[in-house]
Amino acid sequence: MTTVTPDGSPTGKVEILEEAVIRFAGDSGDGMQLTGNQFSDSAALFGNDLATFPDFPAEIRAPIGTLAGVSAFQVRISSNDIHTPGHLLDVLVAMNPAALKVHLPDLKHGGILLVNTGNFGKRDWEKAGYTSNPLEDETIVEPYHLVQVDLNHLTKETLKDTNLDNKAIMRCKNFAALGILLWMFNRDLEPTIRAIKERFGKKAPEIADANVAVLVAGRNYAETVELLDHTFQVDQAELEPGIYRNIMGNQATGLGLLAASKLTGVQLFLGSYPITPASDILHQLSSYKQDGVITFQAEDEIAAICSTVGAAYAGMLAVTTTSGPGVALKTEALGLGVMAELPFVVVNVQRGGPSTGLPTKTEQADLYQAIWGRNGECPLPVLAAASPVDCFYMAIEAFRIATKYMTPVLLLTDGYLANGSEPWKLPKIEDLPKFEVHFETNPEGFQPYKRDPETLARPWVRPGTKGMQHRIGGLEKEDGSGNVSYDSENHFHMVKTRQAKVMGIAKDIPAPELHGDSEGDLLVLGWGSTYGSIYGAVDKARKEGFKVSQLHLRHVFPLPEGVDKILAGFKRILVPEMNMGQLTNYMKTQISADYISYPKVTGKPFYNDEVLRKIREVLA
C-alpha cells in the first residue's frame, strides 16, 4: 500500500492510501460477485476511481469447498485516474481454505488477509489439499497481516431470532465480510443498505432484513473489537465532473448496439447462439423488447450469423455476437456477407483458445482469424475496443462503418473487457456520433452493384421496395448489374474493388491518439484490452525518465492513415499482446519498423508492472 502522510487525521487511526486492491474470494455459492459489486458501488458513490474484474470458476457448480469451485471478484479503488483492476492485492478476503490456496500468491507481503475461520475445519482444509490447518502454519500466513473472524458464527448469532432456516442464514455471511470491509475503508453503510433493499426487498423482504442485519453486525463487530489498529481511507479521485455509472464491457457493447439503432432509427436484430463469454450480450438485448429489439437465439452459430445476414438484407441493423470458436463456425457466412456486400456486425468476445480452450479466461489470439481467416480474398474491417466503456463507442462505430460501406464488420473485445467494469462518464446524447442510414428507393437507373464513387459501397435496398427487385448471392457477380459472372477479368476487378472499398475506410477513421511525446526511444503499441495495462506502465516509465510513449489501435484493419508517421518517430516499437505476436506480425506486413513482440498467453491480462519491467528491460 502506498502510504501518504496521514495528514493530521483527528483520531490518528486512519491511514490515507492513494489506492487499494481488494479481492473477495470464496466458494461459488458464497456470493463473492455480489459482495464485490456492492463494495465497488459504495466506492463509486464515494467518488473513487475504480476498476473491477471477476474471476469465475470454469465449472458451473463445482463441489463445495474445492479449488475448482473458487469464485473471486477483484476491485481496485483509487484517488487517481486508473485503467486496470490492479495486480497484487492489499486485502484478500478468503471465505474458505480453497480460496486461500488459490489466491494467497497474489497478496502483497504485509497485506491484510481476512479469513472466515468458520470454514477452516479439518475437512475444509483437506478438501483444499492442505495437510494441516494453513492458518496455524507460520510458513503460509507469516508474511501477511492475518485477521481471523468466524463469520459463520457471527452470522448465526445475528440471525438466531429470525425464522430463516440454517441454509438461508448461512447465505448471508458474505454481508458480514462486506460490513467488515466497509468499516476497514471508513465507508458509510447507508448506500449499501439501500442497494440490498432494492435488490431483495420486493421479493424477499425477510432476506433483505437479514442481509442488512448481518452487514451491520459485521461492521459493529470490527469496530468493537478493533479488528485492526487503524483503518484506511482512499480519497475521492479527481474525476471529470459529470454523471457516472459503473459499466461492464459486455453491457457497454449491448448498449452501444442499441444506441446505434436509436441514433439511426433502424431496428436492431440480434442472431446469436449462447457461448461464454459473449452470452451476456444476448441476455441483455433479449431484455430490450420494449425498445423493439428482435433477438433470435438460433440453433447454432451458423444459423445465428445466417439469420443476421438475412436481417441485414431485410434492412435491419443486424448483429451476431459470439466468441472465437463461434467465429470459426461463422466464417463461411462472413464470406457471403463480403460477397453480397451486406452491412452487419460480428462481435467476437475473445477467450482462451484454440478449440474450446479456456472459455472463462481472456486472450487476444483471434486477430489473425479476424483479419485473414476466410477463404478467398475476403477483406473486412476489424475493430477492437480498448476498455469496458470503449465497447459502447466501438459498437456504434462498427455499425457506422458497416452501413456506410456496406460490409460486415468484426468487433473484437475479450473476456477481460467483457466482465471487467469501470466508471463511465455518461455522454450527452447530442455528443454521440451521428450517422445516417440510406435505403435506396429510386428505381431510375438502379443497379444492385452500382457503387457510390466515394465509398465504393453498393446501394442498400429493402425488399418490398417497388420496382427494385434484384438477386444477390455468394457467386461472383458482374460489377454494376450484379448478374452472376464467371468472367476472369471481372473477377479480378471485383476482388480489387472489394479490397479498395475496405482499404478506403482508412481515410474515414480517426488517427489513434498518442499518449506521450511524438518522438522517443520506444513506442508501446497495443490493441484491444491491453490499453489500461500499457497506459499505467507508460505513465510510470515516463515519470522514471524514459522516452517512451503509447499508441493504441482501436481500428486494426485497415490501419488509420498516419500510423506510419507516428511509428517513424520512435527507435523501437514494443508490442505487448495476449497472443504469440499476432499484431506484431500483422504490423510487419503493413509498416516496416523495429518491432519487439512481448507475448503473454496465460489467460490473464497484462499487469502494469509487467509492462513496466519490460519497458525498463528494453531501454536498459
Interacting positions 437-476 with another protein (CB under 8 A): 443-444, 446-447, 462-475
Q: Does 267 bind another protein (CB under 8 A)?
A: yes
| Residues of span 189-208 touching another protein by CB under 8 A | 195
Q: Which is nearer to another protein, 110 or 473 (CB)?
A: 473
Q: Considering beta carbons, is residue 253 or 597 the nearer one to another protein?
A: 253
- Which lies closer to another protein via its Cβ, residue 100 or residue 327? 327
Q: Which is nearer to another protein, 333 or 566 (CB)?
A: 333
Where does 28-82 show beta strands of DSSP type E? 49-55, 70-78
Three-state SS at 108 = strand
Using the structure block, give the residue that is written with the C-alpha cell 465509398: 455
Instruction: Look up residue 314 and give its three cell numbers.
Output: 431485410
Q: Which of 64, 164, 239, 591 binds another protein (CB under 8 A)?
A: 239
- Rounded Cα–Cα distance for residues 578 and 599 (Å): 6
510 lines the binding site for another protein (CB under 8 A): no
Give the span between the Cα atoms of 225 and 237, in whole angstroms: 31
Give dist(CA 491, CA 479) in Å, integer: 9
Nearest Cα residue to 582 out of 501, 507, 528: 528
* H/E element, 218: helix 205-224
Q: Which three cell numbers stand for residue 107?
A: 497478496
Residues that contact another protein, how many (by CB under 8 A): 75
The interface with another protein within residues 5-24 (CB under 8 A) comprises none
Residues 103 and 23: beta-carbon distance below 8 Å: yes
Three-class SS state of 604: coil
> Restricting to residues 310-369, which ones interact with another protein according to CB under 8 A?
310-316, 318, 332-333, 335-336, 340
Q: Which residues contact 292 (CB under 8 A, 6 or more apart)?
A: 267, 268
Please, which residues have CB within 8 angstroms of residue 581's CB and are 6 or more apart in sequence?
Answer: 575, 597, 599
Q: According to CB under 8 A, which residues from 206 to 235 bind another protein?
A: none
Residue found by looking up cell 442464514 in the block: 169
- Side chain identity at residue 262, one-letter code: K
Q: Which amino acid is at 304?
A: A
Residues 388-447 that bind another protein (CB under 8 A): 425-427, 429, 432, 443-444, 446-447
Q: What is the DSSP letter of 18?
A: S
Smallest separation (angstroms) from another protein to the CB of 484: 7
Nearest to another protein of 147, 328 (CB atom): 328
Strands 3-4 and 14-17: antiparallel
Nearer to another protein among residue 106 and residue 476 (C-beta):
476
Instruction: Give the interface segment with another protein, choosing from 22-30, 306-314, 496-504, 562-570 (CB under 8 A).
Output: 306-314
**C-alpha to C-alpha distance for 83 and 19, rounded to whole angstroms:** 13
Q: For residue 367, what are the CA distances in angstroms to 281, 351, 446, 588? A: 21, 12, 38, 14
Binding region for another protein (CB under 8 A) out of 130-138, 265-273, 486-494, 561-569: 265-273
Binding another protein (rule: CB under 8 A), the pick from 152, 483, 485, 585 is 483
Residues 99-138 that bind another protein (CB under 8 A): none
Instruction: Report, in Å, the least distance between residue 525 CB and another protein.
Output: 32
Per-residue x/- track, 136-165, another protein (CB under 8 A): ------------------------------
Task: Indicate the residue among 21 and 316 with the shorter CB distance to another protein.
Answer: 316
Reduce the DSSP state of residue 249 to 3 states and report it: helix
Q: Counting contacts by CB under 8 A, is residue 545 touching another protein?
A: no
Binding to another protein in span 286-305, by CB under 8 A: 289-294, 296, 298-300, 302-303
CB closer to another protein out of 469 and 592: 469
Q: Which is closer to another protein, CB of 54 or CB of 271?
A: 271
Min CB(285)–another protein separation in Å: 12
Q: Does 245 bind another protein (CB under 8 A)?
A: yes
Q: Judged by CB under 8 A, which stretch of 96-104, 168-176, 218-226, 308-316 contacts another protein?
A: 308-316
CA 135, 140, 142, 146 torsion-angle sign:
negative
Q: Please, what is the minimum distance in Å from the beta carbon of residue 531 to another protein?
A: 22
User: Per CB under 8 A, does 307 bind another protein?
Assistant: yes
Whether the bond between 558 and the residue before it is cis, its omega within 30 degrees of 0, is: yes
Site membership for another protein, residue 308 (CB under 8 A) = yes
By beta-carbon proximity to another protein, the closer residue of 429 and 620 is: 429
Min CB(287)–another protein separation in Å: 10
Counting contacts by CB under 8 A, is residue 73 touching another protein? no
Distance, in Å, from the CA atom of 522 to the CA atom of 515, rounded to the nearest integer, reads 12
Query: H helices within 504-607, ranges in order?
Result: 531-543, 563-568, 582-590
Q: How far is the CB of 313 from another protein (least distance, A)?
A: 6
- Following CA atoms 87, 90, 94, 98 in sequence, which dihedral angle do they give, to the nearest 10 degrees? 40
Cβ(124)–Cβ(55) below 8 Å? no
Strands 382-384 and 14-17: unpaired
Identify whether the C-beta of residue 340 lies closer than 8 Å to the C-beta of residue 351: no
Rounded distance between C-alpha atoms, residue 289 and residue 196, angstroms: 27
Q: How far is the CB of 291 from another protein (least distance, A)?
A: 6
Residues 560-589 that bind another protein (CB under 8 A): none
Residue 70 or 260 with smaller CB distance to another protein: 260
Complex with another protein: residue 302 or 506, whichever CB lies closer: 302
Q: For another protein, which is the closer residue by CB, 285 or 382?
A: 285
Which one of 200, 244, 372, 435 is in contact with another protein (CB under 8 A)?
Answer: 244
Taking the least distance from each CB to another protein, the nearer of 124 and 390 is 390
CB atoms within 10 A of CB 203: 8
